[in-house]
């Protein structure tokens, strides 16, 4: 049977990102911090300007692609574990400030 995921509802379900010259992390939804609710994932769509991201706990460096993975406008970064969400860090890849939107989902079966 395939896994079934549902969007986290309310203000915890969506996070807007402004991605500038300082590495930024995600705000873990309150739902995910409750006992027994570690089955959560995040989908991050890059809206404007390319970014550099990591999930190993060390933030990337401003405009230095060698410090992480590059994502371009329109790309979707998929974080499938709560550990990756907690360690995610993102920064701009060019001199332009970027933006993105995060959608959090929880496993229901």
pLDDT tens for each residue of 87-97: 999 999 999 99
Q: How much is the CA Rg of the chain, to the nearest whole Å?
A: 14
Q: What is the pLDDT of residue 53?
A: 97
Q: How many CB atoms lie within 10 A of CB 38?
A: 13
Q: Can you give the pLDDT at residue 4? A: 76
pLDDT at 40: 84
Output the tens digit of pLDDT for each of the chain's 109 residues: 677 777 776 666 889 999 999 999 998 776 666 555 557 889 999 999 999 999 998 899 999 999 999 999 999 999 998 889 999 999 999 999 999 999 988 877 7
Angle at Cα 86 formed by Cα 35 and Cα 77, nearest 5°? 120
**Domains, the chain, with CATH or none:** 5-107 (2.60.120.770)
How would DSSP label each residue in 40-91?
A: EEEEEEEEES-EEEESSSSPPBTTBGGGSEEE-TT-EEEE-SHHHHHH-EEE
User: DSSP secondary-structure letter at 93?
Assistant: S
Judging by beta carbons within 10 Å of its beta carbon (0-12, 13-18, 19+), is residue 15 exposed, middle or buried? middle
The predicted model scores a pTM of: 0.86
pLDDT at 7: 73
């Amino acid at each position: 049977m395939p896994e079934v995921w549902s969007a986290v509802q309310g203000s915890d379900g969506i996070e807007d990102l402004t991605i500038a010259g300082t590495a930024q992390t995600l705000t873990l939804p309150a739902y995910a911090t409750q006992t027994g609710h570690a089955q959560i994932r995040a989908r991050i769509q890059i809206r404007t300007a390319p970014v550099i991201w990591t999930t190993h706990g060390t933030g990337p460096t401003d405009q230095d692609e060698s410090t992480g993975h590059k994502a371009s406008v329109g790309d979707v970064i998929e974080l499938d574990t709560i550990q990756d969400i907690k360690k995610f860090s993102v920064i701009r890849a060019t001199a332009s400030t970027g933006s993105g939107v995060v959608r959090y989902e929880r496993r229901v079966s």
